[in-house]
Amino acid sequence: MELLSGGEMLIRALHDEGVELMFGYPGGAALHIYDAIFNQDKVDHILVRHEQAATHAADGYARATGKPGVVLVTSGPGATNAITGIATAFMDSIPMVVISGQVDSSLIGSDAFQETDMVGVSRPIVKHSFMVQKAEDIPAVVKKAFYIATTGRPGPVVIDVPKDVTDPARKFEYRYPESVKMRSYSVPAKGHTGQIKKAVEILLAAKRPVIYAGGGVIQGNGSELLTRLAQTLGFPITNTLMGLGAYPATDKQFLGMLGMHGTYEANMAMHFSDVVLGIGVRFDDRVTNAVNKFCPGAKILHVDIDPASISKTVAADVPIVGSVTSVLEEMLELIGSADARVDSKSLELWWQQIEGWRAKQCLKVKSAEGETIKPQQAVQSVYKATRGEAYVSSDVGQHQMFAAQYYHFDKPRRWINSGGLGTMGFGFPAAIGVQLAYPDAISVCITGEGSIQMCIQELATCLQYGLPIKIVCLNNQALGMVKQWQDMQYGGRHSHSTYSESLPDFIKLVEAYGHVGMRIEKLSELDSKMEQAFALKDKLVFIDVAVDQAEHVYPMAIKGGSMKDMWLSKTERT
């Protein structure tokens, strides 16, 4: 058997786990580990410029590929800088393993230099965490960490590694375990057949059904089966912000996104439905609006792998705990063999009603005066220039909602966005993770001039690794979403949401980092310049688009109302 040090075991274990790429930033407590990285070439390490970016990049990689993202940081400030990214991954159930250096075991608890109780600090935002006690435990801990991070409802796992445990002078026999056995952790596999039967009966008898699918379908690789189910039944389907791409957006059965900034037709269909099939969703407050007014006439069928998600905010009439693929497969089989057929008469009437709502064209863009570019038009232009084939990451704000509404995702794992935590600064590093996972794909970050400044230092990382990301900045010279709320709820008092006099010259900035900058100010030039930017295939291009500063995102749910209560424009409400 081979003799390896703790640091070497750690890296070897990552390789044996199938890890090809990790994101990190070195420091004292992690230096033995970094030395072990130096001496091998199996696991690549990407040096970011801030640990927050390491976690977001690993997260973007995980969302795009379905494989776990891996992060390595040092103790103290390295570990705390990673916290925002861990919380982001936790809220969206993204598989991630974060290895943090820690001070020597003998110093723990002494307020040593760069000591932070990482297990304690991260506790509420991880699926689980480990503190390695001795080097011999490393292979088993790594195996368990990946198993926990990637199975069931996925999530981030922290491994805190005291420096002495990775000491290069102390070698141990290394063997990577083939399987994990944990008596206290089991993964729900198949849903309860009786419950699934009940759900299918209700679906087949439904008169005004709607399928409400979310990020769980993408995480659980259930998009194909979901598409089959929706098309077999002929039911209308809507996706959450996290679920975009779970069902092809350009298909006619798709009603668009639902929720706070969802389409009129999706929210109306939810409200007036008699059966809601929720799959891989969690009835988030950004979807339901006031819970006590939610879908008053509907039976709720809820499929999720996490029992704690079911009946958390909205009580389910038929709860089904199981993986989306196993449940959808069983549903399809049962529908195929059932004597009953969908109530096509009622369904036709239902579709007529939905088409009526759709005719409102709630997302129709009204051009501004003259050459002013509407932010929606900028997203439409990106869609055209990328033929709808890009991986699109986004930050948080109006631009994020416009991206979600106007870039039509036909495939899963193409829309990379921080839905649960809503982390500004996520988009750009996430696009780095995507580009590294798929070097030949188009990786776009649709961002705002506010958000991009939260992780802008990663321009250096892109130069170092030659990442030709396209950054499309919808520059409204303001924290637009904040300003919108202030317009609507605070009498237009723009408290600390504008800064137009102090914005950097983004073109010069990206040029200083060795990239290409482009500014688009006229509507007549929008599409041609966008094409030009995307034609620069080997370059990172920062496309700074001056957009209408007064624009709001609509539709917008009216707080305290039901899903049918929406503002459709500054003056029109339902």
Query: Which residues contact Mg ion by CB under 5 A?
Result: 448-450, 476, 480
Binding to ligand TPP (CB under 6 A): which residues in 397-456?
A: 397-399, 422-425, 448-451
Question: For 23, phi and psi rounded to 5 degrees?
Answer: -120, 135
Closer residue to ligand TPP in complex, CB, 95/448: 448
CA-wise closest residue to 459 among 524, 541, 361: 541
Q: How far is the CB of 526 from ligand TPP (least distance, A)?
A: 17
Q: Which does 465 bind (CB under 5 to 8 A by kind): Mg ion, other proteins, ligand TPP, none?
A: none
Q: Are 440 and 63 in contact (CB under 8 A)?
A: no
CA 223 to chain centre: 16
Here the tokens at position 120 are: 């304690």
Contact characters 463-502, ligand TPP, x per CB under 6 A: -----------x-x-xxxxx--------------------
Closer residue to other proteins in complex, CB, 162/375: 162
CA-wise closest residue to 242 among 207, 278, 217, 268: 217
Q: How far is the CB of 374 from Mg ion (least distance, A)?
A: 14
Q: How far is the CB of 101 from other proteins (least distance, A)?
A: 18
CA-wise closest residue to 291 among 1, 15, 560: 560
Its sign, for the CA torsion 516, 22, 421, 328, is positive
User: Which of 91, 114, 171, 190 is an active site residue?
Assistant: 114
- What are the angstrom distances between the C-alpha of 446 and each of 241, 312, 365, 452, 540? 15, 33, 18, 9, 14
- Active site includes 283? no
Q: How far is the CB of 571 from Mg ion (least distance, A)?
A: 23
Closer residue to other proteins in complex, CB, 124/492: 124
Give contact residues for other proteins (rule: CB under 8 A): 119-120, 123-124, 127-129, 131, 133, 148, 182-185, 306-308, 311-312, 315
The helix/strand/coil state of 220 is coil
How far apart (Å, rounded) are the C-alpha atoms in residues 528 and 519? 12
Closer residue to ligand TPP in complex, CB, 277/481: 481
CA-wise closest residue to 243 among 195, 283, 274, 299: 283
User: Which of 163, 483, 529, 564 is an active site residue?
Assistant: 163
Q: Which does 187 bind (CB under 5 to 8 A by kind): other proteins, ligand TPP, Mg ion, none?
A: none
User: Which of 9, 17, 23, 51 is an active site residue?
Assistant: 51
- Active site includes 113? yes
Closer residue to other proteins in complex, CB, 79/148: 148
The helix/strand/coil state of 545 is strand
Q: How far is the CB of 539 from Mg ion (least distance, A)?
A: 24
- Active site includes 481? yes
Angle between helices 398-406 and 480-489 (to 10 degrees): 100
Q: How far is the CB of 32 from other proteins (least distance, A)?
A: 22
Q: Residue 87 interacts with ligand TPP (CB under 6 A)?
A: no
CA-wise closest residue to 427 among 446, 406, 405, 402: 446
Contact footprint for ligand TPP (CB under 6 A): 395-399, 422-425, 448-451, 474, 476, 478-482
Active site members: 51, 113-114, 163, 481
